[in-house]
Structure 1
């Protein structure tokens, strides 16, 4: 078993305001200023956005998906290219999930046992086997900076099964640690436990005891209420070590980012900004906009007044609506650029507010003025 905290991965806590934290996570491919939102590049691409555009947006971390890349094009092929950084031409930090969430979402075509999971590919129906050891091996081939332990993500409301899945997740976490061979990757453990405070506390204590260089909070934003998510964060984050980054998996709406930072979370990721862009919706600092609405037909305004993103600096709502009506793929790119900018800028503003010890007021003001969808 490798020592869990490599010199290549150090987390510095720069400032704290209440539970909100501003830090720096050092990685071999660059520093990550936290709190941070990571755009999701499921299949080694942030949909409709190039690596150069991500750099211009100021993205410092992106996420790729182990399950999808294992099935296509295959981790062996990516390893031949020297890993994900070279394969996708992104030279900043990359985080890969373990594939656990995707496998467990395939409830009708997978079977779980103590050793791992047998599942059928959603692409061609072929049968595959994923274990903690294999999840680590695949991620080592991918060469990402932050890798995730293999976990079981159950329905959040079943208490009996959540305990069973949590205990299995703990055993799998130990196996992942034993399987890791690369020191240039930070392996994060994952806290589970559904919406049950006692299970969440037990899981956070156990995962913390294993010495991971960072910790993820899984099994949230999977159907529970916002209030339940907040309650679980309030249980978990005080238990997790203060000197390690905390990652809330799969969460990315603006109000959730602000509330997550308020409760001590450092890292977020979500497909939301690019998915919304492909479905005709734009994020703003005060709520979502449907760009297909007829009111935008002749609008010369940008998506959001005062926004400094490339899209708002060069294109009108009328043009973007035309792109959508005409089904031009440029529309998805331009709206994705804007939506990503909103979340990245929100985290930049949040970080500054923490450093200036005014995050509580910042969060209150944002949440009061943000219209929920």
Structure 2
């Protein structure tokens, strides 16, 4: 009888340990957040402490080019136990020398004429001066002790094909690559491509059919990323990047991002399902592609787009006001984790409502088995 009691106690003890392990399980989670005009150390403290309470482990924070603002935010993040990724756009820059901007197939410089929106002033990744500018910029941020990662964004070409969910917004039907959004045809890119391939791309009737030309531009982005990564790594810091989904299904075709070839430390694909007219279950499918593309050797954090005004989503015309409903959070997280993601990232924590947070906090504290 005594031995039976001991055995029962052992079983109960094991069950308690198992339950404890399940409770302690948590999906790694991040958020993207930008600096506001009224941001102070106090507002950062309020935000970061709240995000930590809800289960976030790190923040990708955009404070522009300002090392002082990044240091302020990074210090507050570290004080709240958050990993800090200094989020800074790369190719999207204003106020630079006009000769450094990309040129579309019509011969128009992004300095003077922009595709889609006026802020789409994209630099050419094939200019040494562009690399030098970015290397200096990211180097200054990497020198901040509290910065853990430099987080690259807009490290790409202009979207030669927009996500399907954005077509109506801009009054477009993008069944092909249109010249106005097809970059870069500057003299250097054209000459370098001809030297490498023997092809004069300007003499090709439909450049979008030239696979060598598409690959050449993917390689330009990859080369730039890897040079910048080497510089940042040399300073003892890591590199992450916000990228388009895929890479094969979307990123390569739309913005020339072959990101599985990048020598960086973490990928944050923007798996914004509504932009692609897909349901929440699509997030898992596209995450699986990304994880497989890097052979599961580097962490992939699935980016989730949140609908803040979710109760009125059906009445919101602008797709950039759409996103995941509270009822879809668990599906997106489960799909991502079962596909092999290392975690998730919210765009943005400020868009999360109480209903979102309730679902999110339950979903990130469950165990998932990757496929």
TM-score by length of 2: 0.51
The whole-number CA distance in structure 2 between the counterparts of 1:249 and 1:177 is 21
Correspondence 1:210-289 to 2 at 5 A: 210-218=262-270, 220-221=272-273, 223-226=275-278, 230-251=284-305, 253=324, 254=329, 255-277=331-353, 282-283=354-355
1:193/1:200 contact within 8 Å kept: no
User: Could you say if the C-alpha distance between residues 84 and 205 of structure 1 is closer, same or farther in structure 2, counting changes exceeding 3 Å?
Assistant: closer
Q: Structure 1: 5+ residue runs without aligned partners?
A: 1-32, 118-128, 285-338, 361-373
Instruction: Compute the displacement of 1:195 (Å).
Output: 8.3
CA RMSD of aligned residues (A): 4.7
- 2:29 corresponds to which of 31, 37, 40: 37
Instruction: Compute the displacement of 1:140 (Å).
Output: 1.4
1:39-95: per-residue Cα shift (whole Å, max 9, x none)?
344227887944444444443222211xxx126xx224544x6x7125884343122
1:172-217: per-residue Cα shift (whole Å, max 9, x none)?
2123123315554221356547785286599999544444332332
Match of 2:361 in 1: 344
For residue 223 of structure 2, give the secondary structure of its aligned residue in structure 1.
Answer: helix
Count of aligned residue pairs for this structure pair: 247
Match of 1:24 in 2: none
Instruction: Compute the displacement of 1:246 (Å).
Output: 0.8
For residue 64 of structure 2, give the secondary structure of its aligned residue in structure 1.
Answer: helix
The whole-number CA distance in structure 2 between the counterparts of 1:231 and 1:54 is 27
Correspondence 1:250-329 to 2 at 5 A: 250-251=304-305, 253=324, 254=329, 255-277=331-353, 282-283=354-355
For residue 226 of structure 1, give the secondary structure of its aligned residue in structure 2.
Answer: coil
Deviates more, 1:157-166 or 1:170-179: 157-166
Match of 2:121 in 1: 111
Match of 1:64 in 2: 61
User: Could you say if the C-alpha distance between residues 223 and 203 of structure 1 is closer, same or farther in structure 2, counting changes exceeding 3 Å?
Assistant: closer
Correspondence 1:128-277 to 2 at 5 A: 132-134=134-136, 136-137=138-139, 139-141=141-143, 143-150=146-153, 151-152=155-156, 154=159, 155-156=162-163, 160=177, 161=182, 163=214, 166-180=218-232, 183-188=235-240, 191-192=243-244, 197=249, 200=252, 207-218=259-270, 220-221=272-273, 223-226=275-278, 230-251=284-305, 253=324, 254=329, 255-277=331-353
For residue 136 of structure 1, give the secondary structure of its aligned residue in structure 2.
Answer: helix
Structure richer in helix, relative to its length: 2
Q: Structure 2: 5+ residue runs without aligned partners?
A: 1-24, 94-113, 165-173, 184-213, 307-323
For residue 86 of structure 2, give the secondary structure of its aligned residue in structure 1.
Answer: strand
The whole-number CA distance in structure 1 between the counterparts of 2:31 and 2:336 is 17
User: Could you say if the C-alpha distance between residues 231 and 55 of structure 1 is closer, same or farther in structure 2, counting changes exceeding 3 Å?
Assistant: closer
User: Could you say if the C-alpha distance between residues 219 and 131 of structure 1 is closer, same or farther in structure 2, counting changes exceeding 3 Å?
Assistant: farther
1:156/1:193 contact within 8 Å kept: no
Correspondence 1:87-98 to 2 at 5 A: 89-98=79-88
For residue 108 of structure 1, give the secondary structure of its aligned residue in structure 2.
Answer: coil
The whole-number CA distance in structure 1 between the counterparts of 2:250 and 2:351 is 35
Match of 1:120 in 2: none
Instruction: Compute the displacement of 1:237 (Å).
Output: 1.7
Match of 1:318 in 2: none
Match of 2:320 in 1: none
2:291/2:339 contact within 8 Å kept: yes
User: Could you say if the C-alpha distance between residues 223 and 198 of structure 1 is closer, same or farther in structure 2, counting changes exceeding 3 Å?
Assistant: closer
